[in-house]
Every structure is written in C-alpha cells, then in structure tokens.
Amino acid sequence: MKITIGAKIFEATLFDNEATKAFTSLLPLTINMTELNGNEKYYYLQSTLPTKADAIGKIQVGDRMLYGDNCLVLFYKTFNTTYAYTRIGRINDATRLSAAVGNDNATVTFDLK
C-alpha cells in the first residue's frame, strides 16, 4: 500500500483481516485527517468496517488502526494505551512520518501500489 502525505510517500504493510479487506475496497481514498493529542490523526469513514479489536498496550509510530467500527487512525508517535483497536496495517519506515503530518490536520491519500 502507498500512503501519500503532502510530497512524502510511504510504503505500508497491510494486515490480513476482514477490516483491512473492507478498507482496501474503499481505495483510492484521499481524506483530511484531524489532529488529536499530538500523536495521531483520525478520520471517521462514511461506512462501518468489520472489527476485531484488541487491547494493543503500546502504539508504535506508523500504526494504522480502526477505533470502533469507522474511525481510521494513523499514529505518528509511540506511546502506551489502554484503548482497543482493530489493526489495519503499518508504515514500513515511519522515520519521516511525524514531520510529514505536522502539528495540524493533514490531507492523506491511501492507495494500493
């Protein structure tokens, strides 16, 4: 999967589950993701996706997950959490991700290669 944020392009791995299959059926998708807590961007999808939420424990920079059944989240910092998410995928090399998304809302395009 390819994720484009501004002029930066990131390659991402997709997890093999029903939520990921449903998400990829929506692609290509360009969305304006909202900033939250200085560590994530989120966007409420117009449709719901299947879920299998797990208590993650520790979020890693580059994780892409689903909160609830329609909130897509892209994490750009590593931190501990008590929340449960459905895993969708993760950016393979997220070293430039924080700089790419910035401190405000970000326009992000998700597409298959």
Contact 93, 57 (CB under 8 A): no
**pTM for the whole structure:** 0.96
Closest CA to 20 of 11, 12, 9: 12
Asked: is 2-111 a CATH 2.40.100.20 domain? The reply is yes
Q: Is 47 exposed, middle or buried (0-12, 13-18, 19+ CB in 10 A)?
A: exposed
Tokens, residue 111: 């597409």
Walk along the chain (113 residues) and give the pLDDT tens digit of each residue.
Answer: 999 999 999 999 999 999 999 999 999 999 999 999 999 999 999 999 999 999 999 999 999 999 999 999 999 999 999 999 999 999 999 999 999 999 999 999 999 97
Report d(CA 22, CA 24) in Å as an integer: 6
| Annotated domain spans of the chain | 2-111
Distance CA 93, CA 56 (A): 20
